[in-house]
Chains A and B, each alone.
Chain A
């Protein structure tokens, strides 16, 4: 979707003002730690996947997405998924206490003793699929101009642009459909774009941008 999260090329957002590397804590405040950990722990319930989680944050009003701090956006996304997936009700969320008439949850929460092995296992997205890759390194491709209202990992700034396939990365779970709950593989390519192609002629210097793009995002040129 063309949401507030799709930021590549936007102007007027101010200086980066990085905190010095040696001074920056991993978290800024206890609440950030708890939001991070609650999001991770509930993610491991497998009630939703990573792209559903991303989409829940992206679906906020763009003004809210951009005004919120990073972990506020995680919190909003988590609240959305908890209610939509029926793990808590909107009333429980509002009250901050469980409805006594609600039955016990059927899910088993992530246990402290399982955290290390669960993290080490990760969640690979590569898949074997029957179709052969349509593109090969060196091929010229053009990104399709689509504006889906659902989740996509095709950034706006790449749409309609011409690039060159640098690598075929195998087949990976296609995020546009994973956000709808299905696990289907599509070939993934690393595509190289020139700065001039992306941003026009009036540039101080040339550079390249590589974007990972799935086959449905690409057309032969």
Chain B
């Protein structure tokens, strides 16, 4: 066997074959249009993602009136920026402060604010996160490297209804006067779920 023996020759798994067979069956039965499937995938791979939420947060950091609107009527405040639709029909924004840290979970399935964050990461949908976010949130935060002072109250939001939650992280120190475009890269997806804080200046990672 050469070191290239597995290149391009791995037989597809039973699961891959099964999914292909199901799609061809559904196409044959006239139940799905493959071009529509491509468009659905393209939407969530390329168009709708956490950049939307980062724009909302950066604006809330920069515009006190918008911040108040977002916290009082997140559905309308977010819709005003054009982020509307599936899995964002009813939005609530919860704000982290020096006293309160918010964490979002869905213990029963994988409810997540698609319009502002896109589709959820694997860990958000996983049993370890879903089981412990409501029973040991500080332990969960520690697994993400997030340490909070003892005086901070953790508030967990279990998404059991069609209300969708996003966290407005604390604005990092040292960003006073920064324009919105420079604040956006500091707002990570994980910060808007509440498992991390916003990135600090100088530590920014390309999203």
Contacts and interface: CB of A to CB of B under 8 A. Distances in A.
A148 interface: no
Nearest to B162: A125
Contacts, number: 259
A13 interface: yes
A207 B153 contact: yes
Given A8-B134, A122-B87, A188-B161, A27 B28 contact: no
Given A18-B121, A21-B190, A121-B85, A210 B156 contact: yes
B130 A8 contact: yes
Nearest to B115: A122
B25 A119 contact: no
Interface string A1-29: 00001111111011111110110101111
A28 B13 CA distance: 14
B161 A112 contact: no
Given A8-B107, A93-B25, A123 B86 contact: yes
Contacts of B45: 26-27, 33
A157 B118 contact: no
Nearest to B159: A212
B206 A22 contact: yes
Nearest to A8: B107
B143 A35 contact: no
A62 to B, nearest CB: 11
B88 interface: yes
8 contacts: A18-B122, A18-B123, A31-B16, A37-B37, A70-B126, A75-B19, A120-B85, A155-B158
The 10 closest A-B pairs by CB, nearest first: A96-B21, A212-B161, A8-B107, A37-B37, A112-B35, A207-B154, A18-B123, A115-B39, A10-B131, A37-B40
